[in-house]
Amino acid sequence: AQSVSQHNHHVILSEAASLELGCNYSYGGTVNLFWYVQYPGQHLQLLLKYFSGDPLVKGIKGFEAEFIKSKFSFNLRKPSVQWSDTAEYFCAVKGGSQGNLIFGKGTKLSVKP
């Protein structure tokens, strides 16, 4: 069965620090990869996605993620976080054309001003 692992439950950073959130998945076939963000009191929204092509994907608000097929990873990065990035971040994987979206448990990011 497909699964998604997010390594950190809660990450606390100061403003301007660099961010990397880990995501690993288990699925042997073609995958579509997503990062969603849930700001406090708001709904889940798409941050970025990978379908094919360049494995380095740029998303909104300065976020990027790199798909490393050999490592089954899709880590999220941002060079300099802001207080407004405080949110919960979810990695999700969709395997196959009829596959369901499988989510990780989420990583809560707290950015101190």
Partner 1 sequence: ETGVTQTPRHLVMGMTNKKSLKCEQHLGHNAMYWYKQSAKKPLELMFVYSLEERVENNSVPSRFSPECPNSSHLFLHLHTLQPEDSALYLCASSQDRGGPGEQFFGPGTRLTVL
For partner 1, the binding residues (CB under 8 A) are 4, 9, 32, 34, 36, 42-46, 49, 51, 90, 94, 97-98, 100-106
17/49 with CB nearer partner 1: 49
Cα–Cα distance, 93 to 88 (Å, whole number): 17
17/44 with CB nearer partner 1: 44
Q: What HEC string does 12-80 produce?
A: EEECCCCEEECEEEECCCCEEEEEEEECCCCCCEEEEEECCCCCEEECHHHCEEEEEHHHCEEEEEECC
CB of 66 to partner 1, least distance (A): 18
CB of 34 to partner 1, least distance (A): 6
CB of 75 to partner 1, least distance (A): 18
7/105 with CB nearer partner 1: 105
Nearest to 4 by CA among 113, 109, 101: 101
- Give burial (CB, 10 Å; 0-12/13-18/19+) of 74: buried
CB of 96 to partner 1, least distance (A): 9
11/44 with CB nearer partner 1: 44
